[in-house]
């Protein structure tokens, strides 16, 4: 085993050494640096590919590499097609993450000293188990016991590792999701190990850890479809304190996991140091990966780079002049700790979550009940506040629901009113102008849901029951809405089944603490009529009871059926319903909803309430709220702009219908985007310096900046070299940042007039403009799916606003996340790999091959170590084969081609064309399959077909050359080495031309397929006869017929005629109708089996399947390739080939033991083997 590992490592090292040599050549030749043609030089067809510049606060990991590989493979392929290609790459530093992390380092050093001494629980959270060899060995042994079926051993190990008592950290409950249970078990094992081997002072804990929280979150997503669909009632369990802070690891430990020495970590308390430290590491890792980047064009963002800062200011001044930006109060996801809106890239959790707006119904508590239950609140207007999305249904209220185990509070919202709700809802509301002290929660009394049961409430607008009671509902939770839910059983299946559940069972009422008078006698109130609902599409004014009866819903635990009923009731009610009560009686529900909401607000019966539509955590580690804030926002909802962007989307190549649909959905809902911040790094709003531009808004058209960046800052990344004094002292610079006026940028990017307010040399200005006009537009933007609903849509919007149509993006290619060995990548579980780690382990080209094979779809893809290791073996083996073959080429035969040669050339032509089609569609896994795996397979078959004659020398060399070119986008170092060192070609394979091939010869293709099929069929027959004969046969016969019997000829003729009409293989009904008049039922039934055989041949070889006589000379094919057949089947004798008579019988004197000669058909010989 050790020797195998050593041999494998030697192969890896050989490839790594080769890769290093090749990269040194590329660097010396500056092969990736590309410039626009000079004035007077011929224009070239360009191809520009870009990738969202990464946030430089760590190391590039394998998931990033998977996405960037799509851009890398595409640009390399287009280079082979003769395009003038550019792949620029920048470094993103804008936003909160760096500033937040720097501030954390600073606080930790101030609080815990240097080196810091953290509480033991923090030491456990921050402990890097993945670098503890003893832990890794013990865990591997434990997992080995589980996988080998050692249940007792695994159970014993699990029991020994518990280290805690019950609670969330203890044994999983009945029906617990396996992933959650496994995460809990892993935590118990880690905790027990930490106590035993690291720090025995670690206390027991039942709080949820980060990995447990993540596993639970995934389990909840899986179950979400089975839960109730109404947002006001479909609640999720509240996260523990540890989960709410994300199991947050101390920043010190995060830095250590990035391999930063203790003595250097204090430097990171300064945000500027991050900008100096990480960008060179990214460049180093990506250069090692072989990325074809022109690094002269790289840059960092924020005002630390005055060139980019000037560019972003120009962009926003342009948008502002176009009236695309506005300033107003808007609801936004907000971080109280940071004191500013928290948009997608400012979040550690909850990317894509938006504010969700409700109507908060004020249900006033009866004065007598207030005095009896909560005397401290007497004299105030106290309301239970229910968040609803359906204010138009308030006419039908019968009761109010609370969660009996939910914690509530009475919160002062102004001098006279008190709202009863959950603390979480009160916190949100306080940031929306509804708190006694702005943005501060004022709780005057705490209470539980049980304390509220039975209270009488005045239900606004209720037509039959103006006073209702508070009842318990177990599914009401605390983390969505206010924890208070008003009940309308006429149109809400959840409300109906819970109400009936209490009404029909006195015992259940007693158990729940519900008095009869609170619930008995309350019936659903008809408030709206739908014309057609349910299976029978019948009209109804009590939709919920009807759907519950139809779906046989008898209780609140039938989640799947309730979700179905709810969807039907809400969709039909809103879109087709008509109000039958109230001031808007007779009008459509969809029309009434906003009108009635305004009535409630105007009459002070409700307030507007908004909250995040999901859990959001800022990078400061705090749960976010929705706040009503003053802010600058981009008005993406402007209809003319939106239509223009839809036009851009219509002409955009997305490679996948799912991607296009996601874009369309985003363009539909996107209206406003808060683009201003007060905390973090970035560019100031040009006309309002109090605000910074957010990280998703300064990154929409920066691809244009790439075209001129090398002329401005000359590839400089170090912020210290971009200060005003450093720039002044740099005599190599042709442009200083202050010279980049608005009119200069207009001249370069928008065909503006010569700038009169800048003294930049006009030749420099013209050169900048030529660079932009030569390279733009972006031909391909590669990104993850998760950026469609923000960055990629903003990318389209901003291009349509600022640039003419000829400069709009041409294609966007997206992908899902990358799994590692079929598991989500996670540092906490150890299933994680940086790009640099992968390159150390597998080498560059093997890593690239495994990334390419990981997947082509927009779903999540899978990188496997098995594929990476297999790639090492394949590359090493093929390198040796190519080297040996080229060295011996002069000794191989030449001259006239045999059938094997013709077949191999034809197969290569076919595979080149297939690979070209896959590259064109950016299906790189498929390109690897056809351009490498299938090419190798064809080569191996060719070697066998040549048998003792050996390969044709020039053809073998042609194979090697084509192979290295086809694979060069994926494995460029391997290809470059063979191109230069083995084939001795001049220049680089990266600048080679894509192989030019003719058309595939269909006859040779069919002949080749025939031969391969015969080898397969002979092998099966030989195996069968060997068993029957109880030993290896010593001779064999192949029986061949040239034409089909008359009956089958009629079938083939009919099928061919039907095919000529539609261009497709006819369906069974068409075949039966056409053949019915020609044959009796019994014959027809027999012939339909033959039709299915023809269909299989059609799927393999097309319309040739309808030929009455085989176009292949089968006798010659078998006889002339008998050497190959013998070699492939390892038989010491030739098979005797027999051409049968027209009736299928063997010629006189030829041995024939076939039981049924009729089964012998054209291209389907019969084989028999004997012992003599």
CA distances from 837 to 65, 289, 961 (A): 12, 11, 32
Q: Predicted confidence band at 477 (pLDDT cuts at 50, 70, 90)? A: confident
626 contacts 358 by C-beta, under 8 angstroms? no
Percent of the chain with pLDDT over 70: 92
Q: Is 60 exceeded by the pLDDT of residue 370?
A: yes
* 605-663 confidence digits (pLDDT tens): 999 999 999 899 887 788 999 998 888 999 999 999 999 999 999 999 999 999 999 99
* 428-456 confidence digits (pLDDT tens): 999 999 998 889 999 999 999 999 999 99
* 734-746 confidence digits (pLDDT tens): 999 999 999 999 9
Instruction: Give me the residues paired with residue 408 across strands.
Output: 447
Short-list 684, 764, 676, 702, CA closest to 328: 676
Residues 1009-1032: what's their mean pLDDT? 91
Q: Predicted confidence band at 152 (pLDDT cuts at 50, 70, 90)? A: very low
Task: Report the pLDDT value the prediction gives residue 828, as an integer from 0 to 100.
Answer: 61
Q: Is 90 exceeded by the pLDDT of residue 80?
A: yes
Strands (E), 580-643: 606-612, 617-618, 625-635
Residues 782-809: what's their mean pLDDT? 95
Would you give the DSSP letter of residue 752?
A: P
Q: In 551-636, where does DSSP find H-type helix? A: 559-576, 589-602
Task: Report the pLDDT value the prediction gives residue 296, as an integer from 0 to 100.
Answer: 95
Q: Is 70 exceeded by the pLDDT of residue 191?
A: yes
Query: What does the alpha-carbon distance between residue 412 and residue 437 come to, in Å, rounded to a whole number?
Result: 9
The reply to whether the predicted model has a pTM over 0.85 is no
Q: Predicted confidence band at 206 (pLDDT cuts at 50, 70, 90)? A: low
CA distances from 944 to 887, 911, 1134 (A): 20, 19, 16
Task: Order the strands of the 823-824 sheet from edge to edge.
Answer: 823-824, 818-820, 861-863
Short-list 1054, 1029, 1059, 1031, CA closest to 1044: 1054
108 contacts 116 by C-beta, under 8 angstroms? yes
Query: What does the alpha-carbon distance between residue 633 and residue 676 come to, in Å, rounded to a whole number?
Result: 7
405 contacts 470 by C-beta, under 8 angstroms? no
Q: pLDDT higher for 777 or 511?
A: 777
Task: Report the pLDDT value the prediction gives residue 236, as an integer from 0 to 100.
Answer: 34
Q: Predicted confidence band at 213 (pLDDT cuts at 50, 70, 90)? A: low
Pairing of strands 1136-1139, 1035-1040: parallel
Residues 145-163: what's their mean pLDDT? 47
Instruction: Give me the residues paired with residue 625 across strands.
Output: 334
Query: What does the alpha-carbon distance between residue 788 and residue 666 come to, in Å, rounded to a whole number?
Result: 8
Task: Report the pLDDT value the prediction gives residue 1115, as an integer from 0 to 100.
Answer: 93
Residues 844-858: what's their mean pLDDT? 94
Element (H, E) at 5: helix 2-29
Query: What does the alpha-carbon distance between residue 813 and residue 654 come to, in Å, rounded to a whole number?
Result: 6
Lowest mean pLDDT among 159-173, 180-194, 1154-1168: 159-173
Q: Predicted confidence band at 163 (pLDDT cuts at 50, 70, 90)? A: very low
Element (H, E) at 961: helix 953-967
Give the list of residues 6+ apart from residue 509 with CB closer than 8 angstroms, or none: 502, 515, 516, 519
Query: What does the alpha-carbon distance between residue 308 and residue 719 come to, in Å, rounded to a whole number?
Result: 12
CA distances from 594 to 582, 590, 601, 620 (A): 14, 8, 11, 37
* 253-278 confidence digits (pLDDT tens): 888 888 899 999 999 999 999 999 99
Q: Is 90 exceeded by the pLDDT of residue 112?
A: no
Side-chain-side CA neighbours of 403 within 13 Å: the count stands at 23
Torsion of CA 1126, 1131, 1134, 1135, to 10 degrees: -100
Q: Is 60 exceeded by the pLDDT of residue 516?
A: yes
* 1073-1116 confidence digits (pLDDT tens): 888 888 888 888 888 888 888 888 888 778 888 888 888 899 99
Query: What does the alpha-carbon distance between residue 56 and residue 993 come to, in Å, rounded to a whole number?
Result: 36
CB-count exposure of residue 581 (10 Å: 0-12, 13-18, 19+): middle
Q: Is 80 exceeded by the pLDDT of residue 496?
A: yes
Q: Predicted confidence band at 233 (pLDDT cuts at 50, 70, 90)? A: very low
Q: Is 70 exceeded by the pLDDT of residue 424?
A: yes
Would you give the DSSP letter of residue 421?
A: E
* 340-354 confidence digits (pLDDT tens): 888 776 787 887 788
Query: What does the alpha-carbon distance between residue 985 and residue 969 come to, in Å, rounded to a whole number?
Result: 18
Instruction: Write the DSSP assignment of 33-84 as a string of letters.
Output: ---PPPTTSPP--EEEEE-PPPB-SS--BHHHHHHHHHHHHHHHHHHHTT-E
Q: What value does the CA radius of gyration of the chain take, rounded to a whole number of Å?
A: 37
Would you give the DSSP letter of residue 980?
A: I
366 contacts 458 by C-beta, under 8 angstroms? yes
Task: Report the pLDDT value the prediction gives residue 257, as an integer from 0 to 100.
Answer: 82
Query: What does the alpha-carbon distance between residue 1052 and residue 1065 come to, in Å, rounded to a whole number?
Result: 12
* 873-893 confidence digits (pLDDT tens): 999 999 999 999 999 999 999
Side-chain-side CA neighbours of 491 within 13 Å: the count stands at 28
Query: What does the alpha-carbon distance between residue 463 and residue 393 come to, in Å, rounded to a whole number?
Result: 11
Residues 706-713: what's their mean pLDDT? 95
Task: Report the pLDDT value the prediction gives residue 231, as an integer from 0 to 100.
Answer: 30
Q: Predicted confidence band at 731 (pLDDT cuts at 50, 70, 90)? A: confident
Residues 770-790: what's their mean pLDDT? 95
Q: Max Cα separation, the chain?
A: 119
Percent of the chain with pLDDT over 90: 62
Q: In 268-359, where does DSSP find H-type helix? A: 271-288, 306-321
Q: pLDDT higher for 180 or 460?
A: 460
Task: Report the pLDDT value the prediction gives residue 638, as an integer from 0 to 100.
Answer: 95
Task: Report the pLDDT value the prediction gives residue 174, as an integer from 0 to 100.
Answer: 46
Residues 414-435: what's their mean pLDDT? 94
Q: Is 50 exceeded by the pLDDT of residue 133?
A: yes
Query: What does the alpha-carbon distance between residue 384 and residue 936 come to, in Å, rounded to a whole number?
Result: 73
Provide the mean pLDDT of the chain.
Answer: 88
Task: Report the pLDDT value the prediction gives residue 431, as an integer from 0 to 100.
Answer: 94
Q: Is 70 exceeded by the pLDDT of residue 993?
A: yes
Residues 151-172: what's their mean pLDDT? 39
Lowest mean pLDDT among 123-127, 222-226, 721-725: 222-226
213 contacts 239 by C-beta, under 8 angstroms? yes
Q: Predicted confidence band at 372 (pLDDT cuts at 50, 70, 90)? A: very high
């Amino acid at each position: 085993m050790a020797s195998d590992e050593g041999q494998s490592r030697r192969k890896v090292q050989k490839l790594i050494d080769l890769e290093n040599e090749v990269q040194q050549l590329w660097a010396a030749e500056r092969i990736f640096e590309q410039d626009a043609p000079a004035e007077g030089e011929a224009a070239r067809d360009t191809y520009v590919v870009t990738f969202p510049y990464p946030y430089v606060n760590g190391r590039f990991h394998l998931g990033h590499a998977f996405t960037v590989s799509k851009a890398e493979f595409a640009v390399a392929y287009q280079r082979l097609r003769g395009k003038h290609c550019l792949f620029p790459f920048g470094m993103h530093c804008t936003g909160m993450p760096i500033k937040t992390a720097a501030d954390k380092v600073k606080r930790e050093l101030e609080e815990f000293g240097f080196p810091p001494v953290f509480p033991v629980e923090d030491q456990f959270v921050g402990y890097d188990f993945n670098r503890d060899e003893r832990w890794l060995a013990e865990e591997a042994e434990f997992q080995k016991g589980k996988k080998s079926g050692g249940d007792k051993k695994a159970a014993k190990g699990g029991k020994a590792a518990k280290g805690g008592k019950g609670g969330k950290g203890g044994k999983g409950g009945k029906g617990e999701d396996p992933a959650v249970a496994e995460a809990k078990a892993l935590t118990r094992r880690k905790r027990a190990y930490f106590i035993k081997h690291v720090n025995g002072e670690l206390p027991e804990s039942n709080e949820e850890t980060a990995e447990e929280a993540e596993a639970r979150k995934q389990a909840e997503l899986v179950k979400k479809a089975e839960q109730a669909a109404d947002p006001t009632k479909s609640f999720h369990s509240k996260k523990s304190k540890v989960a709410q802070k994300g199991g947050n690891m101390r920043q010190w430990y995060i830095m250590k996991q990035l391999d930063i020495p203790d003595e250097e970590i204090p430097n990171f308390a300064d945000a500027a140091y991050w900008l100096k430290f990480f960008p060179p590491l990214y460049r180093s890792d990506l250069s090692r990966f072989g990325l074809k980047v022109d690094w002269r064009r790289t840059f960092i963002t924020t005002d630390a780079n005055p060139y980019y800062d000037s560019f972003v200011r120009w962009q926003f001044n342009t948008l502002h002049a176009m009236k695309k930006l506005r300033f107003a109060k808007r609801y936004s996801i907000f971080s109280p700790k940071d004191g500013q809106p928290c948009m997608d890239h400012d979040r550690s959790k909850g990317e894509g979550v938006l504010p969700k707006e409700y109507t908060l119904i004020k249900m006033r508590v009866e004065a007598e009940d207030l005095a009896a239950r909560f005397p401290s609140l007497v004299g105030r207007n106290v309301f239970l506040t229910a968040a609803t999305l359906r204010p138009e249904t308030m006419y039908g209220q019968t009761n109010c629901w609370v969660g009996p185990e939910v914690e509530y509070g009475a919160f002062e919202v102004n001098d006279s009113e008190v709202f009863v709700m959950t603390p979480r809802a009160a916190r949100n509301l306080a940031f929306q102008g509804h708190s006694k002290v702005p943005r501060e929660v004022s709780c005057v009394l705490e209470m539980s849901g049980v304390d509220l049961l039975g209270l009488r409430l005045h239900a606004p607008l209720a037509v039959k029951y103006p006073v209702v009671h508070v009842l318990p509902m177990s599914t009401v939770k605390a983390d969505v809405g206010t924890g208070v839910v008003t009940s309308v059983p006429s149109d809400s299946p959840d409300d109906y089944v819970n109400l009936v559940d209490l009404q029909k069972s006195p015992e259940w009422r007693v158990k729940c603490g519900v008095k009869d008078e609170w619930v008995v006698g309350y019936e659903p109130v008809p408030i709206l009529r739908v014309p057609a609902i349910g299976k029978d599409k019948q009209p109804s004014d009590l939709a919920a009871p009807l759907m519950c009866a139809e779906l046989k819903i008898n209780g609140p635990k039938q989640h799947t059926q309730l979700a179905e009923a709810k969807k039907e009731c809400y969709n039909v009610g809103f879109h087709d319903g008509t109000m039958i009560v109230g001031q808007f009686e007779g009008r459509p529900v969809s029309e009434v909803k906003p009108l009635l909401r305004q009535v409630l607000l105007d009459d002070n019966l409700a307030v507007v309430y908004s909250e995040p539509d999901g859990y959001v955590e800022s990078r400061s580690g705090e749960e976010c709220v929705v706040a009503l804030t003053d802010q600058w926002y981009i008005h993406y909802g402007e209809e003319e702009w939106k239509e223009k962007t839809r036009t851009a989307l219509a002409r955009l190549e997305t490679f996948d219908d799912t991607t296009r649909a996601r874009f369309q959905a985003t363009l539909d809902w996107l209206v406003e985007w808060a683009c201003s911040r007060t905390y973090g790094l970035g560019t100031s709003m040009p006309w309002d310096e109090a605000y910074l531009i957010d990280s998703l808004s300064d990154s929409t058209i920066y691809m244009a900046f790439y075209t001129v960046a090398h002329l401005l800052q000359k590839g400089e990344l170090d912020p210290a070299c971009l200060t005003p004094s450093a720039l002044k002292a740099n005599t190599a610079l042709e442009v200083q940042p202050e010279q980049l006026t608005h009119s200069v940028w207009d001249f370069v990017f928008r065909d503006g007039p010569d700038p009169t307010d800048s003294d930049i040399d006009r030749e420099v200005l013209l050169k900048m403009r030529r660079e932009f006009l030569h390279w733009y537009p972006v031909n391909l933007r590669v990104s993850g799916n998760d950026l469609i609903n923000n960055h990629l849509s903003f990318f389209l919007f901003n291009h349509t606003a600022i640039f003419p149509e000829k400069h709009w993006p041409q294609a966007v290619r997206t992908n899902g996340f990358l799994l590692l060995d079929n598991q989500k990548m996670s540092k906490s579980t150890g299933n994680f790999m940086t790009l640099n780690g992968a390159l150390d382990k597998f080498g560059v080209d093997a890593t690239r091959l495994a990334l390419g094979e990981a997947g082509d779809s927009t779903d999540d893809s899978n990188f496997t170590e098995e594929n990476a290791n297999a790639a090492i073996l394949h590359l090493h083996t093929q390198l040796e084969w190519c080297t040996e073959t080229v060295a011996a080429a002069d000794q191989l035969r030449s001259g006239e081609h045999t059938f094997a040669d013709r077949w191999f050339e034809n197969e290569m032509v076919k595979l080149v064309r297939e690979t070209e089609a896959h590259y064109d569609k950016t299906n790189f896994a498929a390109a690897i399959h056809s351009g490498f795996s299938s090419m190798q397979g064809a080569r191996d078959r060719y070697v066998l077909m040549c048998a003792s004659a050996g390969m044709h020398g020039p053809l073998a060399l042609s194979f090697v050359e084509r192979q290295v070119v086809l694979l060069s986008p994926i494995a460029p170092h391997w290809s470059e080495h063979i191109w230069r060192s083995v084939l001795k070609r001049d220049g680089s394979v990266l600048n080679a031309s894509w192989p030019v091939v003719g058309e595939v010869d269909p006859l040779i293709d069919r002949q080749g397929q025939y031969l391969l099929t015969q080898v397969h069929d002979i092998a099966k027959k030989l195996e069968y006869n060997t068993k029957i004969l109880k030993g290896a046969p010593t001779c064999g016969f192949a029986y061949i017929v040239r034409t089909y019997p008359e009956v089958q000829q009629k079938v083939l003729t009919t099928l061919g005629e039907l095919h000529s009409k539609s261009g497709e293989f006819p369906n069974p009904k068409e075949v039966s109708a056409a053949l019915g008049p020609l044959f009796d039922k019994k014959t027809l039934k027999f012939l339909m089996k033959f039709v299915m055989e023809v269909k299989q041949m059609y799927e393999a070889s097309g319309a040739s399947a309808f030929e009455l006589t085989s176009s292949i000379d089968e006798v010659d094919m078998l006889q002339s390739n008998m050497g190959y057949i013998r070699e492939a089947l390892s038989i010491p004798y030739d098979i005797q080939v027999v051409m049968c008579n027209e009736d299928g019988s063997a010629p006189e004197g030829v041995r024939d033991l076939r039981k049924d000669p009729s089964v012998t058909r054209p291209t389907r010989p019969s084989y028999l083997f004997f012992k003599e």
